[in-house]
Amino acid sequence: MLQEGISGVGLKRKSGEVMEMIKAGSSLAAALATTELDVSQLWLRYFAVGGGCSRQALKSYLTGTIDWSAHEHDVVVLALNEYFLEQGLDHPVRYAEDMDD
Amino acid sequence: MAGTPESEHRGMPSSDYCGQPLHLEDLAGLLGRIARDLDTEKTLDETMRALVAAAVDAIPGAEAGGITEVRGHGQQIDVRFASDQLVRELDTAQEVLGEGPCLDAAYQHRTVRVNDFQTDERWPAFAARAHERGIGSMLAIQLYVDGDDLGALNLYAYQPNAFDDESEQIGLLFATHAAIAMAGVQRERQLRVAISSRDIIGQAKGILMERYKLTAEQAFAVLTRASSESNIKLRKVAESLAATGTVPGS
């Protein structure tokens, strides 16, 4: 059974592998706000590159209501960066794994 | 025409509307017909074509019709579907003349009815052209808003005063259903593309997981890094790996 996620605390999957939960949705929400995309459009792009969570879960993560795994966070980062690339910009959103030491 | 807030007029009848009630039995049958005609199994093109045919058939007074897309604040008009060539000509004329009921319907988010082109003074150049071509009256309904692109459903009749309140009510029902159907078709198309993309990315992850004994997340990180270093989209990186067995840049 998963405990309430706290940033930095590892949680175990069924397979025994540790899954890090983070609460960094607000940084993604801020990046999203600089685009013309709404959450539904972001979700579709996130889904297209392999994202596994529902649209509602994405909304909850962006508003800070729930934690997500660092991996799913990075899938959203990828989706956002690909959008920026399409606009001719660099990929400005950092990946969660790059934020760890 | 003075600008008015969008919310006031969208989905509302024209200024000629008198408030005649629509009979409920007719309404139920009509909605059923519209739903059957606007099947989301069809492509968007087929759906719009079916919509025009259904609208011309169901809207009292309509003898010809079309769906027109307006872009760049009236600079560009694209007649998407027309029941005949005359409709195409008249809709396009609005672009050349820079005026017309369809443009107003699209940009002022309202329903526009022209009861008699001979006497209507709102669009003198367009009215003259329509009258010349034997058109007596017209009904223009805003169909959809897609970013800066706006769509309108235009109905034409050879006689003046062919459209009444019932025409407007039924036209507005069509517009609502059409908007929902079109959104559905578009959503389905987008999901299909997304699923196809997920599938190929999954294949690429699987290849890396097996080859290098990685977890799914680690494989994803490898692909992401290859993508951002080469500025190639993840899907393309995945396609390349699945096709050639190698990751670009590795």
Predicted local distance difference test score (pLDDT) of residue B25: 65
Does residue B149 share a domain with residue B132? yes
Q: What is the CATH number of the domain that holds B145?
A: 3.30.450.40
Buried b / exposed e over B40-73, threshold 16 CB at 10 Å, is beeebeebbbbbbebbbebbbbbbbbbbbbbbee
Comparison of pLDDT for B19 and A96, the residue scoring more: A96
Query: What integer best gives the mean pLDDT of chain A?
Result: 81
In B161-248, which residue ranges form alpha helices assigned H by DSSP? Answer: 165-212, 216-230, 234-244
Domain tally, chain B: 2
Domain boundaries, chain A: 24-94
Residue B249 belongs to some domain of the structure: no
A97: nearest CB among B201, B221, B227: B221
Q: Would you state the structure tokens that stand for residue B250, as one six-digit string? A: 């590795």
The mean pLDDT of B66-72, rounded to a whole number, is 84
Question: Counting Cβ atoms within 10 Å, is residue A33 exposed (0-12), middle (13-18) or buried (19+)?
Answer: exposed
Cβ neighbours for B232, distance < 8 A, ≥ 6 positions apart = B226, B240, B248
CA atoms within 13 A on the CB side of B220: 22
Predicted local distance difference test score (pLDDT) of residue B56: 92
Comparison of pLDDT for B220 and B72, the residue scoring more: B220
Tell how strand B64-71 and strand B76-82 pair up.
Answer: antiparallel
Query: What is the band of B23 on the pLDDT scale with cuts at 50, 70, 90?
Result: low
Enclosing domain of residue B121? 6-12+23-185
Residue B17 belongs to some domain of the structure: no
Q: Would you state the structure tokens that stand for residue B233, as one six-digit string? A: 């989209």
Q: What is the CATH number of the domain that holds B224?
A: 1.10.10.10
Predicted local distance difference test score (pLDDT) of residue B40: 54
Comparison of pLDDT for B133 and A8, the residue scoring more: B133
* CA dist B191 → A40, A47, B72, B140, B184 (Å): 12, 9, 28, 32, 11
Does residue B214 share a domain with residue B92? no
A48: nearest CB among B197, B215, B220: B197
Q: Are B151 and B47 in contact (CB under 8 A)?
A: no
B198/A50 touch (CB, cutoff 8 Å), yes or no: yes
The mean pLDDT of A14-23, rounded to a whole number, is 68
Does residue B202 share a domain with residue B179? no
Q: Min CA distance, A86 vs chain B (Å)?
A: 9
Pick the last residue of a domain from B185, B200, B227: B185
Name the phi and psi angles at A31, rounded to 5: -65, -40
| Residue B38 burial (CB count, 10 A) | 22
Predicted local distance difference test score (pLDDT) of residue B183: 78
Does residue B237 share a domain with residue B124? no
Residue B6 in this model has a pLDDT that exceeds 60: no
Separation of alpha carbons B146 and B51, rounded Å:
18
B224/A91 touch (CB, cutoff 8 Å), yes or no: no
Comparison of pLDDT for B226 and B75, the residue scoring more: B226
pLDDT tens digits, residue range B28-51?
A: 777 776 666 666 566 777 877 888
Does residue B196 share a domain with residue B173? no
Most confident of B36-45, B140-149, B202-211: B202-211
Residue A17 in this model has a pLDDT that exceeds 50: yes
Residue A29 in this model has a pLDDT that exceeds 60: yes
Predicted local distance difference test score (pLDDT) of residue B98: 81
pLDDT more than 90, % of chain B: 38
* Chain A residue whose CA is closest to B218: A71
Q: Min CA distance, B64 vs chain A (Å)?
A: 37
Does residue B166 share a domain with residue B149? yes
Q: Are B47 and B80 in contact (CB under 8 A)?
A: no
pLDDT tens digits, residue range B88-134?
A: 888 888 888 888 888 787 777 678 999 999 998 998 999 999 999 99
Does residue B166 share a domain with residue B118? yes
Predicted local distance difference test score (pLDDT) of residue B2: 45
Does residue B100 share a domain with residue B224? no
Does residue B176 share a domain with residue B152? yes
Does residue B130 share a domain with residue B227? no
Residue B201 belongs to some domain of the structure: yes
Residue B178 belongs to some domain of the structure: yes
pLDDT tens digits, residue range B162-202?
A: 999 999 999 998 888 777 777 777 788 899 999 999 999 99
A48/B193 touch (CB, cutoff 8 Å), yes or no: yes
Separation of alpha carbons B204 and B246, rounded Å:
10
pLDDT tens digits, residue range A30-69?
A: 999 999 899 999 999 999 999 999 999 999 999 999 999 9
Does residue B215 share a domain with residue B143? no
**Residues of chain B found within 8 Å of residue A49, distances taken between Cβ atoms:** 197-198, 201, 234-235
Residue B82 belongs to some domain of the structure: yes
Across chain B, where does the E strand assignment appear? 64-71, 76-82, 112-114, 137-146, 149-157
Comparison of pLDDT for A3 and B196, the residue scoring more: B196
Does residue B158 share a domain with residue B132? yes
